[in-house]
Amino acid sequence: MLLKRKSGWRFLIEGVLLSLILFAAIPTNAVLAGGGGGSGGSEQKQDEPFTISFFAESVDPENTVICLDGSNGFDERLNDNLSLVTVSKKQGGGSVSYKSFEYIKSGGKDNPPMIRRLRLIFDNLEPSTSYQVKVGGGFAANNGVTLGRDCIYEFTTSGMKGTAGEAGAPANKEVSSRVSSRGGTVEGNGLIVNIPPGAVNGEVNIVLSKVEDLSGLALMEGAKLLSSVFEVNKDDGQDFEKPVTLTLDFDPSRFDPNMYDIGIFWLDEKTGTWRELENIRVDLASGKVSGDVKHFTKFAVLAVPKKVIAEDEQVPEFKDIKGYWCEKGVKRLAAMKILRGYPDGTFRPDSRITRSEFTTILVKAFKVEQKGALVFDDVSHHWAKDFVASAFNAGIVAGYDRSHFHPDDFLTREQMAVMVCRAAGLKAGAGSAAFSDSAVIAPWAKDAVAAVGTCGIMSGYPDGTFRPGNFATRAEAASVIERALHL
């Protein structure tokens, strides 16, 4: 449940608005009884300890959100507890008022729904300034147990104050946030990290920090640094299950777009070289650039001199496709800048390809006009949202329903057949390619499978099967698109 207060003053109680916010695990009939009574509070043991933790949802000076999470519910002492929460500047003191606050209720089957989170919302903080939130030791849970000591959380707002290097400008502190398997966004100091659902297992802590000492971080020849250098860490030390999207601010006035290409690069600490992220998207007007990555290290926006490619210059070979059956198709698409390999020089032909990855390659290969409104809810924050929107509006792809595209699902062979059939403008059902397992091909894919089979874009297996439900590989996807382009 959510309780909002409109006043920025901490001790006024007028204008409290009751509304309902439930976490996904909370039953939909969970309610807060009687204006903040202790729903479920009796379930807590009297000797159960009480602790709190903090994290910053946003450090934008105009929309700062700081969260305080209790290990137990604190429904029964809302006003008393709130009076023990104070905010001030770290340097020079000075009390700071918040625009509003919210109480969020959570729980589950074996954990009665109670208020366990307090969100403080600010709209007028100073940029690049350090603040601290102090919670008095008398802050109590429903079972009467208190913190027993004052707790202090420090955070620094994003943005710039004065000019770079100005005397007295506060140092940029790290920003941390917990993210669950449901995904989330971590933002601070000009960096946004969007983590899609399923990218992490369980709950992890993401930490963003600026790298102040740039000595030893040599750039490639002719490159320009257009942003701060950030270090991003995940407490479990593991790579992400799915790519996450990084968005960084940069200064467009510091380079000539006719002479330089820009992108987000990550530092390979073993070799000391900078490598570009996947799926770079640049917005020159807003001064933002995005890219995708599955691991964390140091990141920055770099401007790299454009490379003049001679007509007879060969496309670099991926080291893992030489002599492979897909080599010809992969090299042609790479030369056309339709697809790319991995930073380690591999293409990974036998890896599975996702629906969003194949959609992106199709849009690039067939030069689909990139326009159209976003349709699917589950790609609203996805790196491929513009490509998916373009493909949908061109009639190349469809979703599972009106709201879901499932961008990170692996692509099946029958889905690939339908999508490439539409992109290439083939007449569905033309021909009669026969496969011994045609009975298991989905009705919506039968005509497309027949069309791509007849014209030789896709073929079956030696045993005469098409295996429509098999996941397509990167090698298969590249070869299928290359053949379709040369019909």
pLDDT digits (tens, 9 = 90+) for 154-180: 888 876 433 233 323 334 567 888 888
Tokens of residue 217, six digits:
């971080």
Residue 264 main-chain phi, psi, to 5 deg: -95, 130
Angle at 201 between CA 57 and CA 355, to 5 degrees: 95
Question: Tokens 């629906």 appear where?
Answer: 355
Taken as a whole, the chain contains a residue count of: 487
Is the full-model pTM beyond 0.75? no
- Per DSSP, the three-state class of 487 is coil
Q: What's the pLDDT score for residue 170?
A: 39
CA distance 189 to 175: 8
Q: 47 exposed, middle or buried (CB, 10 Å; 0-12, 13-18, 19+)? A: exposed
Give per-residue pLDDT as tens, 262-317: 889 988 888 788 888 877 888 877 888 888 888 888 999 998 887 544 444 455 67
Measure the CA–CA gap between 289 and 50, rounded to whole angstroms. Answer: 43
Tell me the C-alpha distance between 18 and 103, whole Å.
10
Instruction: State the CB neighbour count (10 A cutoff) for residue 451.
Output: 24
Annotate 406-418 with b (16+ C-beta within 10 A) or e (fewer).
ebbebbbbbbbbb
Identify which of 368, 383, 191 has the alpha carbon closest to the alpha carbon of residue 280. 383
In angstroms, the CA 294 to CA 237 distance is 12
Domain 2-156 sits in CATH at 2.60.40.380
343, two tokens? 């930073």
pLDDT of residue 279: 75
Distances (CA, A) of 422 to 364, 416, 450, 459: 14, 10, 13, 17
- The burial class, CB within 10 Å (0-12 / 13-18 / 19+), for 310 is exposed
- Report the 10 Å Cβ neighbour count for 311: 4
| Residue among 441, 444, 443, 485 nearest 460 (CA) | 441
Check residue 371 and give its pLDDT.
66
Q: Which amino acid is at 13?
A: I
Pairwise CA distance, residues 245 & 294, whole Å: 9
With a cut of 70, which residues of the chain have pLDDT below it? Answer: 1-48, 106-112, 159-173, 258, 307-316, 370-373, 428-433
Q: Minimal CA–CA distance to 54: which of 135, 140, 161?
A: 135
Domain 179-305 has CATH 3.30.70.100: no
d(CA 54, CA 60): 17
Domain ranges (residues) in the chain: 2-156, 179-305, 327-485
Dist. CA 248–CA 229, nearest whole Å: 10
Distances 121 to 6, 21, 52, 306 between C-alpha atoms, Å: 10, 16, 18, 44
How would you classify the pairing of strands 100-108 and 2-5?
antiparallel
pLDDT at 167: 29
- Residue 278 CA to residue 291 CA, distance in Å, equals 6
Amino acid, res. 446: K
Average predicted confidence (pLDDT) for the chain? 77
Handedness of CA 158, 65, 232, 241 (dihedral sign): negative
Burial (CB count <10 Å: 0-12, 13-18, 19+), residue 87: buried
